[in-house]
Amino acid sequence: MKFLPKALAISALALMTAAAQAADIKIAMNGADDTATNPEAAFAHGFADALKGTEFEVSIFPSGTLGSEKERFDQVAQGLLEVNLAALSTGFGMSPLMKGVQLPFFFENREQIDAVLSETDMLEQMNGPLLDNGVRFVDVNYIGMDIGIHNSKKPISRVEDMSDLRFRALNSEQIALQEALGATGTIVSWSEVANAIQTGVADGYFNPPNSAIRTGHTEFLKHFTPADITPSSRIVLISEDWYASLGDEEKGQIDAALAAGKKANRDWVNNWASEVRAKHEAAGVTITELAEGEREKMAELARATWATSLPDDQLSIWIKARDSVAD
């Protein structure tokens, strides 16, 4: 019997171990593993279904299973988690340019964001510092309709209707937007939102309509204005170390699976768009459209807040990319 030299044997074992790890894909997401109610689950299952018949085996981990947003980001960077459907903000520390995805009233619609990411070099630019840290930003993952204005007090059809309202804010950037629109804001953690609104700490929030429907907040948030502030977005991150270890055929399979997940996510959101108004109305929510010209007025007021998210040079990069795909 012939034996491999010790160094070769160790190398062979390492290669076999790497191959086994490459075939096992963990995908983590926010929310329940329910494709009927969760657009992230739609992505996850679209991704997993596309890999059936390959050497890859996909395990889906719903919200909290593999830790917090920060913990999951760190796991991707360390190569411990292959695919993570993450909060956009998790990448800001490494790649501040990513903040452009969420600028208020910056994009006309979701299709424009998709065009910027697929037809310009914005993904490459955002990925520069991420790749150095083992993380690859693949795409945006939408989690519902565009962000609108929920409140418990009254219909909002004009900017001035918000002057006596205080909104829950996610961060300082959102407070800047609320103040630019004539309202006030207060930062409240998501777990405390229901109590804050019911006790008068806040009168509402800026969120997509499915947020209030999914959480039951429609019990007290009885007014919604579809202002289309910005698409409600999360992101798809993958481990760069894992992806780089794959062969060309395997990378092609993963790329196809990511495209299938994207399609499943977009299909979910498009289907949801036809249902959300009926669900709001069934919950007793009054839907008030903005008066003519009011969205344009809001957009002009919001423009000054972009500088709170991005310095001028980075903002210019986004404006150039957006305008290059404009109809």
Tell me the pLDDT tens digit for each residue of 194-251. Answer: 999 999 999 999 999 988 998 899 999 999 999 999 999 999 999 999 999 999 999 9
| Torsions phi, psi for 170 (to 5 deg) | -80, -35
pLDDT of amino acid 327:
58
Domain 148-230+276-311 is classified in which CATH homologous superfamily?
Answer: Bacterial extracellular solute-binding protein, family 7 (3.40.190.170)
The two structure tokens encoding residue 141: 């993952």
Tell me the pLDDT tens digit for each residue of 55-79. Answer: 999 999 998 899 999 999 999 999 9
Domain 7-145+232-273 is classified in which CATH homologous superfamily?
Answer: Bacterial extracellular solute-binding protein, family 7 (3.40.190.170)
The two structure tokens encoding residue 21: 């790890």
pLDDT of amino acid 4:
39
Q: Smallest Cα–Cα separation from 240: which of 139, 140, 141, 137?
A: 137
pLDDT of amino acid 144:
84
Q: Is residue 108 within 8 Å of 203, Cβ to Cβ?
A: no
Where is 225: in which H helix or E strand?
A: strand 223-225
pLDDT of amino acid 210:
85
DSSP 289: P
Measure the N-to-C terminal CA separation of the chain; round to a whole number of Å.
70
pLDDT of amino acid 22:
59
Stretch(es) of the chain classified as CATH 3.40.190.170 = 7-145+232-273, 148-230+276-311
Within the chain, which residues score under 70 in pLDDT?
1-22, 327
Model pTM? 0.87
Checking DSSP bridges between strand 135-142 and strand 286-287, what pairing results, if any? unpaired
